[in-house]
Structure 1
Amino acid sequence: MTSRTPARTSRKTAGRPVTARLHGIDAARGLALLGMMATHLLPTFESNADLTPTWIGLTFSGRAAALFAVLAGVGLALSTGKHKPLQAPDLSAARRGVALRALVIAAVGLSLGGLEVNLAIILVHYAVLFLCVLPFLGMGLKQLCAWAGGWIMGSPVLAYLLRPWLLAAEPPMQLGHNPSWEDLSTPASLLADLFFTGYYPVFQWLSYLLVGLIVGRLVLGRAMVPVVLLVGGSIVAVLARTLGVTAMESWGGRAALEELLNSPGYPLESVLQVNLTGIAQEGSWWWLASAAPHSATTLDLLHTSGVAVAVIGACLLLGRLAEWVDVDLLLPLRGAGAMTLSLYTVHVWVVSGFYLKPLPAGWTEDGMYFAHAASAVIVGMVFVLRKWRGPLEWLAHAANRAGRGELRPSVR
């Protein structure tokens, strides 16, 4: 959420200037931010009694966060050579920069983890993903495709085998809350939660960054690349989701899992559509046949990655359209997308202020979401028009430059 698309050399294409940034990438990041805010502030089920999924749950749950992670990979690819990966010694310097930037993100996430808030904060997991992807930054497209395919297929199986063993430990190796500074005193439980037993399992989620690296290593300036991303991502997303639903509803998967849970009346059908977090996915290989949001199965990873890639392609196409009509159509989204770390942090802090408290008189959940989203859009537009970095983006950028050795004092 902190990576800013690097500047491109100004040139002309068909008589029109090419923008200094790939505005579509920032717009997609802004869309992901607004989507995550929606899942935080608006109900994903109709009520506790009637667990019928809402359109918010059906649209954004699992997909907005995955889009963030895929865009992290895109940003890392763009900052490490685009379609020509950096090689040593530049690659080593870039890795140091990414590592220091990850530490900044982790520090922010651990600080937010001390707040009392009913949100699953992604920042510490996000930072660990940055560190885990370092070995892949020098790879080309073929290698990345092989690794991404293997990781998407294999990591859910390994996690399925390891997770019960971690949860059976005494005490269980699971935090049950957002990672905070205090959890550094129990590193084993912290790492187990981050990688396998927590809300955003890094072990499987590394797949998203690998997919993002693949997208970022493409020549995004070519005319057909956004179209391929939009069409290809949509096809993968539909096929994965269709296969998951078929496995659950037509091949007997849901019936087998309901029998395993042995909880009459439990709305497993609704949960499979919105969020599988909180259910111990063990005791049956049928869990791996689901495409449920936040299940981190192969089909879930394929579906959400496909959605993310399609959204990126659509945003890049809108950026092309904006250049053609000479109107900045993406400004509201790209402004927020250029400073997501700062905006996300403020969003979480504000939400924590209402934890276990009623909304102010006259406010509704819809109104609260509109206030957060509108504030993010307005602040983002001001910053991008003034060519300012967000405060936390500035800090992360400085850490990145320090890691690359670009902050050396001048010699007189």
Structure 2
Amino acid sequence: MDVPPKDVPPKPARSPLQAARPAAARLAGVDAARGVALLGMMATHLMATFGPDAGRTPTWVGLVFSGRSAALFAVLAGIGLALSTGRQQPLRGAELRAARRGVALRAVPIALVGLILGGLEVNIAIILVHYAVLFVCILPFLGLGTRALAAWAAGWTLLSPVLAFALRPWFLSAEPPLRLGHNPAMEDLETPGPLLADIFLTGYYPVLQWLSYLLIGLLIGRLDLTATAVRILLLCGGAVLAVTAKTLGTAAILDWGGLQALEESVANPAFPLTSHLQVSLTGVEQSGTWWWLAAAAPHSGTTLDLLHTAGSAAAAVGFFLLLGGLRRPGRRETARWLLPLSGPGAMTLTLYTLHVWAASWFHERELPGGLSSEGLYQLHALSAVAIGGLFALWGRRGPLEWLAHQAAVLGRYRPAARGREPRRPRRGGRGTA
């Protein structure tokens, strides 16, 4: 039996904010993918996704980023939760309960920031309130292993769009319809019915379907993301899934009779439905025919849309993990040359908030000095890269990341039982349900 030396002073008691389990080393590739998601969302916010012509021809921004950037952001949320709750070995017992409390408390400042931003006059669909609710909804799944997560992710992705299609007309037929028509804000707390309906079903990021992204991300995060084979699998498998889902959706609409049925459902010959099917179905009433569920259009919330965007997200994560793994033997996976993306990717909450706030300055106003929307985007993007890079080099969290982290640490705090030695975490093996 080992006896500790008598001349070693006892360790001082730790405060709740110091008692969190030590964080694992960050994966530069995950942060870089998150940076790409942030920059892509900025592009759709600031630059046109449709052309000025009557047919609303999609722009390259709409074709490339619409639907994919926000989905990547959500999948990465699930990956981040997996990395902070045991990675390949899900937490159990008291540790799992503490982790769930931490995630729930972390969602509080995110939701508050989202509600505050929702009060701004800005032409941006703000994701933060929905993002916070997704954190709460994912809590029951944090202790599941890969097999159970795979089953839940597959089932939710397949069935939630069908349930949403069946329920949405009932919510919208209410008087008044249970839809906000704007970003959730503080005053909406006074009308919880429309607020909850909008968040879960009738809003821009319906949690009912979007939980699929977090389940898929949680599943990805339970894999060994340091293994090259897993990274290649994510890149190739994600790309195949994305292409297959988009191909099936395109064939169903254009070749198998879906487009005619959707045009009859819209009942407006002048409406540029074909363009919206390429860029976004946000605001389009998806009811009247089950053919809506066959589309793979961005922001349609269908199974094929979820599979396409989740596959794109998995491929992006695999790609940047492979880039982040290009390092000399024996070096930590920091990938300094990924800093322009991983820097802002490590503080997306702060930078997203600054971006929305800055965009509100020019809401329905002319840009100063003849600045174009492309120029405004470049200004936002370069500012995000510069600020993120400086904080990364400084080795500090962003201000709002620090606040969310402290809330999570406070939630995870567990007073040590007197007279008992803390149990060491298990090693090896794969988590089960």
Q: TM-score, normalised by structure 2?
A: 0.89
C-alpha deviation, 1:49, in angstroms: 2.5
Which residue pairs with 1:262 in the alignment?
Answer: 267
Question: Which of 329, 347, 355 does residue 347 from structure 1 map onto?
Answer: 355
Question: 2:123 is paired with a residue of what secondary structure?
Answer: coil
Letter in 2 for 1:358: E
Rounded Cα–Cα distance in structure 2 between residues aligned with 1:109 and 1:93: 25
> How do 1:7-86 residues align onto structure 2 when only pairs under 5 Å count?
7-8=23-24, 20-47=25-52, 49-86=54-91
Question: Which of 90, 94, 100 does residue 95 from structure 1 map onto?
Answer: 100
Letter in 2 for 1:385: L
Letter in 1 for 2:228: A
Rounded Cα–Cα distance in structure 2 between residues aligned with 1:221 and 1:199: 34
Question: Which of 276, 285, 303 does residue 281 from structure 2 map onto?
Answer: 276
Which residue pairs with 2:318 in the alignment?
Answer: 313
Matched, 1:214 2:223: no
Question: Which of 293, 297, 300 does residue 302 from structure 2 map onto?
Answer: 297
Which residue pairs with 1:363 in the alignment?
Answer: 371
Which residue pairs with 1:123 in the alignment?
Answer: 128
Answer whether contact 1:341 1:392 (CA < 8 A) is retained: yes
Answer whether contact 1:173 1:192 (CA < 8 A) is retained: yes
Answer whether contact 1:339 1:393 (CA < 8 A) is retained: yes
Letter in 1 for 2:229: M
Which residue pairs with 2:401 in the alignment?
Answer: 393
C-alpha deviation, 1:7, in angstroms: 4.2
Q: Which runs of 5+ in 1 are unaligned?
A: 1-5, 9-19
Question: Which of 162, 167, 190 does residue 162 from structure 1 map onto?
Answer: 167
- After TM superposition, the runs of 4+ consecutive aligned structure 1 residues lying more than 3 A away are 322-327
Letter in 2 for 1:341: L
> How do 1:109-148 residues align onto structure 2 when only pairs under 5 Å count?
109-148=114-153
Which residue pairs with 1:14 in the alignment?
Answer: none
Rounded Cα–Cα distance in structure 2 between residues aligned with 1:272 and 1:223: 36
Which residue pairs with 2:3 in the alignment?
Answer: none
Answer whether contact 2:35 2:348 (CA < 8 A) is retained: yes
**Alpha-carbon displacement from aligned partner over 1:96-136 (angstroms, at most 9, x marks no partner):** 00000001100000000000111100000000000000000
Question: 2:204 is paired with a residue of what secondary structure?
Answer: coil
Greater C-alpha radius of gyration = 2
Distance 1:357 1:322, change over 3 A: farther
Answer whether contact 2:265 2:287 (CA < 8 A) is retained: no
Letter in 1 for 2:95: D
C-alpha deviation, 1:256, in angstroms: 1.1
> How do 1:137-216 residues align onto structure 2 when only pairs under 5 Å count?
137-216=142-221
C-alpha deviation, 1:361, in angstroms: 1.6
Rounded Cα–Cα distance in structure 2 between residues aligned with 1:263 and 1:152: 31
Q: Which runs of 5+ in 2 are unaligned?
A: 1-21, 417-433
Question: Which of 412, 423, 428 does residue 404 from structure 1 map onto?
Answer: 412
- Count of residue correspondences: 393
Letter in 2 for 1:135: P
Q: TM-score, normalised by structure 1?
A: 0.93
Answer whether contact 1:322 1:330 (CA < 8 A) is retained: no
Answer whether contact 2:343 2:392 (CA < 8 A) is retained: yes
Work out the percentage of aligned pairs sharing the same amino acid.
63
Answer whether contact 1:173 1:188 (CA < 8 A) is retained: yes
Which residue pairs with 2:383 in the alignment?
Answer: 375
